[in-house]
């Protein structure tokens, strides 16, 4: 019989190491028995995660048929001069991208998902701009705003998905909102006047910073954090 030199427990003759402390079992008089069956089976049974394929298929069929029907109606019957069906088709495509990939690809990282979602919004706005013949405002204003928003949400998702405290999350979200609004003003200014004179967004950003500073202080001071937790506990 071999014993763990660390724990003093007897080990199974088939054990290469102590299951409690992982110290290798070294016994010159009795090497590890590889012929004996181990105390537990080594065959792992893999369980298939519940498949959401049916739901994904149903959603795809619904969106697809709505898009095709509207497209046909638009082409042959109703107001064929205006591509109004692009609104419906775009909405269906956007919903599809939002809902279906997460159902089918459950291992998809959150930031890829958020990036895809932002792209879907961009594509939808593009389809709208086709109808309104507004490619210039799309490229100059809408696309930059959507991309900035998407990038900020992606970064936020990446940071928050690794499990932050409520205080940290709230601080980061407020910061992200401030940043996004500053981005909007930058693009709006550049689109309208081709200059950048920060105005209202600086006020909002200042408010955000004013909100964030106490939160950071509370986060850093354990005594304060405890106090807040005590008063606001659920």
Partner 1 sequence: MAKPQRKKKAWYKLDNAAMMYSAIQRENYSAIYRFSAVMTELVDPEALQRAIDKTMPRFPTFRVRIKRGVFWYYFEPNDAPGPFVKEDMKNPCQPVRFWEDNGWLVRFFYYGRRISLEVFHALADGAGALTLLRTLLAVYLRERGWAIPNTGGVLDITQPPPAEEGEDAYFRYAKSRVRRGMGERKAYQNTGTPEPFYTLNVTMGLLPLDRLRAAAKGYGASVTEYLSAVLIASILARQRREGRRRELPVALAVPINLRPHFPSRTLRNFILTVRPSIDPELGEYTFSEIVSQVHHHMRLHITRQEMQAVITRNVMLQKNKFLQLAPAPLKNLSMALSYRLVGCRPYSTTYTNPGAFPVPPEMAPHIQRMEVILGQSYTPRANCASISYGNTMEITFAGTVKETDVERDFFRHLVREGIPVKVISNREE
Residues binding partner 1 (CB under 8 A):
4, 7-12, 15-22, 37, 39-47, 49-50, 222
Nearest 5°: the CA angle 46, 99, 85 is 150
Residue pair 121/146 in contact by the 8 Å Cβ criterion: yes
Both tokens assigned to 29 = 């008089």
Taking the complex as a whole, the smallest distance from the CB of residue 20 to partner 1 amounts, in Å, to 4
Both tokens assigned to 27 = 């016994």
Which positions from 163 through 192 interact with Zn ion, judged by CB under 5 A?
none
8/28 with CB nearer Zn ion: 8
Q: Residue holding tokens 């939160």?
A: 215
Out of partner 1, Zn ion, none, which partner does residue 136 contact, by CB within 5 to 8 A per kind?
none
For residues 44 and 57, what is the distance between their CA atoms, to the nearest angstrom?
31
Out of partner 1, Zn ion, none, which partner does residue 41 contact, by CB within 5 to 8 A per kind?
partner 1
Residue pair 180/152 in contact by the 8 Å Cβ criterion: yes
Length of the chain: 234
Distances (CA, A) of 174 to 33, 139, 147, 155, 204: 61, 28, 19, 14, 10
Out of partner 1, Zn ion, none, which partner does residue 50 contact, by CB within 5 to 8 A per kind?
partner 1
20/213 with CB nearer Zn ion: 20
Taking the complex as a whole, the smallest distance from the CB of residue 31 to partner 1 amounts, in Å, to 15
20/58 with CB nearer partner 1: 20
16/79 with CB nearer partner 1: 16
Both tokens assigned to 217 = 């202080």
Taking the complex as a whole, the smallest distance from the CB of residue 15 to partner 1 amounts, in Å, to 7
Residue pair 189/197 in contact by the 8 Å Cβ criterion: yes
Q: Under the phi-then-psi rule, with left for phi > 0, alpha for psi from -120 to 50, and beta for the rest, what region is 22? A: left
Q: Is 4 in the site for Zn ion (CB under 5 A)?
A: yes
Out of partner 1, Zn ion, none, which partner does residue 54 contact, by CB within 5 to 8 A per kind?
none
- Which of 6, 65, 80, 165 forms a contact with Zn ion (CB under 5 A)? 6
Out of partner 1, Zn ion, none, which partner does residue 151 contact, by CB within 5 to 8 A per kind?
none
3-state secondary structure of 198: coil
12/189 with CB nearer partner 1: 12
């Amino acid at each position: 019989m071999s014993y763990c030199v660390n724990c003093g427990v007897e080990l199974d003759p088939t054990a290469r190491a102590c299951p409690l402390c992982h110290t290798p079992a070294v016994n010159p008089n009795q090497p590890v028995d590889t012929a004996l069956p181990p105390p537990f089976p080594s065959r792992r049974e893999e369980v298939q995660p519940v498949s959401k394929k049916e739901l994904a298929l149903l959603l795809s069929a619904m969106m697809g048929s709505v898009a095709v029907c509207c497209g046909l109606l638009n082409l042959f019957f109703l107001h064929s001069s205006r591509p109004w069906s692009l609104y419906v088709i775009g909405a269906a495509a956007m919903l599809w991208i939002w809902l279906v990939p997460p159902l089918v690809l459950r291992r998809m990282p959150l930031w890829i998902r958020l990036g895809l979602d932002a792209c879907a919004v961009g594509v939808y706005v593009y389809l709208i701009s086709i109808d309104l013949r507004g490619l210039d405002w799309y490229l100059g204003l809408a696309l930059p705003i959507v991309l900035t928003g998407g990038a900020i949400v992606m970064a936020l998702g990446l940071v928050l998905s690794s499990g932050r405290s409520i205080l940290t999350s709230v601080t980061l979200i407020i910061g992200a909102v401030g940043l996004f609004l500053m981005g909007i003003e930058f693009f709006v200014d550049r689109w309208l006047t081709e200059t950048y004179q920060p105005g209202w967004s600086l006020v909002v950003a200042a408010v955000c910073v004013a909100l964030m500073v106490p939160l950071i202080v509370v986060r850093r001071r354990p005594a304060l954090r405890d106090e807040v937790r005590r008063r606001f506990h659920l």
